[in-house]
Amino acid sequence: MKQSNKIKTIVILILLIIFGIIAARHFVGLHFKKKFSVRPAPGVIISKVDETIFFKSIETFGTAIARNSKTYRVKENDIVGNFNIDERFVKKGDIIVALKDNQNIIAEFAGKLGKREIAQGVLGSDSLIITLDDIKNIFIDIKIPENYVGVIKKGLKAEISSSAFKKNFKGKIDSVSSRIDPSTRSILARVIVKNNKFQIIPGQLMTVKIIYDEEKELGVPESAVTIQGNTSFVYIVEDNIAKKRNIEIGKRNFGKVSVVSGLEKNEEVVIEGVSKVRNNLKVKILKSKN
């Protein structure tokens, strides 16, 4: 009898120890779960939804042409006095070169002078060729593919650039041909560019971007938009809570995406830290870019 009671007592003690271990593990697990499951809110950078100019463009290239050009040929022996045309600008009516017997060469328009050498041994190599170019305005003739005939027209804006400069020049389409070239399936257009600092010189190859379909639309940085299949969405922030919002996107320009629908002006969207954000998650705003 005593032996039986002793065995029962041992079994009960073992069961109590097992229960205690299970209970302890449960409560310790709850403690650590509570301690480590509360993660700090991810830091994000936000930006306000605002209106931006979006457009389509056609990019091509062409050669710079002076608005007016004139070439003069003179014999060196006929020149009176010192002759210097380096970096020289003249006005209309100025004497370009003084010659014997008062047969002076007069500028027919304002412009910049230049000199073109004649190779030795060529007939008339004792002569000089002097050039006069009006480069205050520069023309660039460009060829546009015929599928753009419906949009290309006089007055459209143009951005002109060159590998020689770290800047863009502003221009516009001055004229458009009335015919399509059947051999190239393109239409010729002429762009006029303001060249007030005389940086562009005739003969220079220029890249031309024609701007069309300009519209002011709501826009957000490309980094704010996540695309999954046919769905595009952003995270807006309200009271430090990120909320997923599906949107419809349109044009892209200069790192921004136009928003056709889904957002309102001045709403705030996450533009950096998007990968750490989930719907209805609390976030910490590190910076706001306007």
Higher pLDDT residue, 144 or 128?
144
For residue 120, is pLDDT > 50?
Answer: no
Which residues make beta-bridge pairs with 129?
73, 116
Element (DSSP H or E) covering residue 118: none
Cα(256)–Cα(253) distance, integer angstroms = 5
pLDDT of amino acid 196? 87
Give the pairing type, strands 205-221 and 157-161.
antiparallel
Query: Do residues 174 and 190 lie in contact, with contact meaning Cβ atoms separated by under 8 Å?
Result: yes
Which amino acid is present at 82? N
Q: What phi and psi values does residue 22 have, to the nearest 5 degrees?
A: -60, -45
Q: List the structure tokens of 231.
A: 């769905």
pLDDT of amino acid 28? 66
DSSP letters, 151-199, are T--TT-EEEEE-TT-SS-EEEEEEEEEEEEETTTTEEEEEEEEE-TT--
pLDDT of amino acid 32? 57
| Burial of residue 169, with CB atoms counted within 10 A of its CB: 0-12 exposed, 13-18 middle, 19 or more buried | buried
**According to the 3-state scheme, what is the secondary structure of 39-86?**
CCCCEEEEEECEEEEEEEEEEEEEEEEEEEEEEEEEEHHHECCCCCCC
For residue 121, is pLDDT > 60?
Answer: no
Cα(114)–Cα(135) distance, integer angstroms = 12
The secondary structure of residue 42, as a DSSP letter, is P
Number of Cβ within 10 Å of residue 268's Cβ equals 18
Q: What phi and psi values does residue 25 have, to the nearest 5 degrees?
A: -60, -35
Lowest-pLDDT range of 23-32, 86-95, 227-236: 23-32
**Alpha-helical runs (H) found in the chain:** 2-37
pLDDT of amino acid 206? 96
pLDDT of amino acid 5? 67
Query: Do residues 52 and 217 lie in contact, with contact meaning Cβ atoms separated by under 8 Å?
Result: yes
Q: Within its chain, how far is the Cα of 264 from the centroid?
A: 25
pLDDT of amino acid 1? 53
Cα(231)–Cα(270) distance, integer angstroms = 17
Q: Give 243's Cβ-side CA count (13 Å radius).
A: 11
For residue 150, is pLDDT > 50?
Answer: yes
Reported as a pLDDT band with limits 50, 70 and 90, residue 116 is confident
Give the pairing type, strands 157-161 and 105-106.
unpaired
Mean pLDDT, range 204-231, rounded to an integer: 93
For residue 125, is pLDDT > 70?
Answer: no
For residue 149, is pLDDT > 90?
Answer: yes
Lowest-pLDDT range of 53-62, 114-123, 129-138, 139-148: 114-123
Query: Do residues 96 and 90 lie in contact, with contact meaning Cβ atoms separated by under 8 Å?
Result: yes
Number of Cβ within 10 Å of residue 29's Cβ equals 10
Q: pLDDT averaged over the chain?
A: 86
Element (DSSP H or E) covering residue 255: none
Q: What is the pLDDT of residues 218-247, one digit of tens each?
A: 999 999 999 998 899 999 999 999 999 999
Which residues make beta-bridge pairs with 110?
none
- Three-state DSSP class for residue 19: helix
How much is the pTM? Answer: 0.69
Mean pLDDT, range 43-66, rounded to an integer: 92
